[in-house]
Structure 1
Amino acid sequence: MANDAAMDKHLILLDDAEFFIERNSNGDAATANGFLLRRCPTSPSTPGGYECVGGYERCASGEWRASINAPYDSTSDRDCRELGRFATNLDAIAVLWKARRDAYCQH
């Protein structure tokens, strides 16, 4: 896809041609959060040709949390599903990658 040229290849951790996990460029690999992205057609709401459908981040407690997008639930007022909290970022990334096809995609 032509839009792939805009992505910084060394920040892409996993890629199956539909989904990819990209580490945030603000910080080093040991501390930076990252995003689960899904390729889709370019549109006004997805000008880069991808949509964010999940991610991982370090909590204030030092644990790593992974979550994926989910349909909005008015009872909980949430549109994401936490996959868990983990001791390392690699554990969070692995669980996020395994759940990629369960993420709620809008495009």
Structure 2
Amino acid sequence: MIVAVEVFFWQVIRPFMLAIFIAIVLAILVLPMHQWLTSRLGCRQRLAAVCTTLFVLFLAMLPISFTMLMAGTQLMSVGHWRTMCSGQNERNSTALVERNKE
């Protein structure tokens, strides 16, 4: 019975192992900053926790925002290029129609 519970537990936890590992590493890395903030803020644990959480969220969102900005820039340049190409095709097709009429 215990072995069956352990196997079931492992099957449930296995997809989350990378996220759990990253969370543990991040918690260990941020702990000194949290302790420093706690001492600087007059032992206000909650305020230090909020500041630490916002700092970590900012660090996580920075590369995501940069990637989205670059993707948007690329998308705009592709859209501009397609507009330019379609304009040339329309001019070429108009000239072709004019030649066929004559």
TM-score by length of 1: 0.26
* Larger fraction in helix: 2
Structure (1 or 2) with the greater strand fraction: 1
